[in-house]
């Protein structure tokens, strides 16, 4: 086959390969309340939830009085949006489309972009499954590195920030070993004992939340 005939074949192969690649995760929804709807870059609608990841190009629409906090992996920052507002998720942060611009703060002590992204794996637990995908089961060496990251992270993280615990839970859940998860679930409950999403996640993981 001549080079001229081969070029269209190569072009179509490259195009199909590019289309097959999923859009990268850009952030994690840390908190959400009120009426919030979402649409992906491809136009599909989905229901956003606490502890679920969002992709580059997703659009979130907040009704009046609604609130959303998004942690961005690339910029290691947390944005707080209040409705009515609409914004598009980008790698470096939210792009405002309408309404009030978000307030932004640093995610203190986050070890790596990969570590932040791992926190989003908690969306795959039980009834909280949302836009998840297959993940690799961490070996003992990987678990040891994750624990070392966690220890350094909590030294500078805000005392009430549960993102370090979500990171460890999301990272360790593929091991299917409750003994590995329980210490981080209990710490998460101590930090935010009255938050409904935290209590629901603890119950899904088999750790009864304390009585109110």
Say which range, 71-80, 102-111, 126-135, has the weakest mean pLDDT.
Answer: 126-135
Residue 14 scores a pLDDT above 70? no
- The torsion angles phi and psi of 99, rounded to 5 degrees, stand at 85, -165
For residues 58 and 22, what is the distance between their CA atoms, to the nearest angstrom? 13
| Nearest Cα to Cα of residue 143 among 185, 180, 186, 187 | 180
pTM score of the predicted model: 0.74
Which tokens is 106 given? 């640093």
CB contact set of 49 (below 8 Å; sequence gap of 6+): 29, 32, 123, 128, 130
Residue 123: its pLDDT value, please?
57
């Amino acid at each position: 086959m001549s080079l001229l005939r081969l070029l269209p074949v190569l072009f179509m192969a490259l195009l199909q390969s590019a289309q097959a690649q999923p859009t990268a995760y850009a952030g994690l929804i840390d908190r959400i309340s009120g009426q919030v709807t979402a649409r992906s870059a491809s136009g599909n609608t989905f229901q956003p939830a606490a502890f679920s990841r969002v992709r580059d190009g997703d659009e979130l629409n907040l009704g009046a009085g609604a609130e959303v906090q998004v942690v961005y992996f690339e910029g290691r920052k947390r944005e707080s949006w209040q409705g009515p507002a609409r914004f598009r998720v980008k790698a470096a942060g939210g792009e405002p489309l309408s309404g009030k611009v978000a307030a932004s703060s640093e995610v203190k002590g986050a070890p790596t972009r990969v570590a932040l992204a791992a926190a989003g794996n908690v969306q795959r637990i039980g009834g909280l499954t949302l836009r998840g995908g297959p993940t690799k089961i961490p070996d003992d060496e990987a678990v040891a590195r994750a624990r070392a990251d966690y220890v350094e992270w909590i030294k500078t993280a805000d005392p009430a920030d549960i993102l370090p615990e979500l990171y460890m839970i999301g990272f360790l859940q593929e091991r299917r070993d409750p003994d590995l998860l329980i210490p981080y679930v209990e710490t998460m409950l101590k930090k935010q004992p009255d938050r409904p999403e935290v209590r629901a996640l603890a119950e899904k993981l088999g750790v009864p939340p304390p009585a109110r």
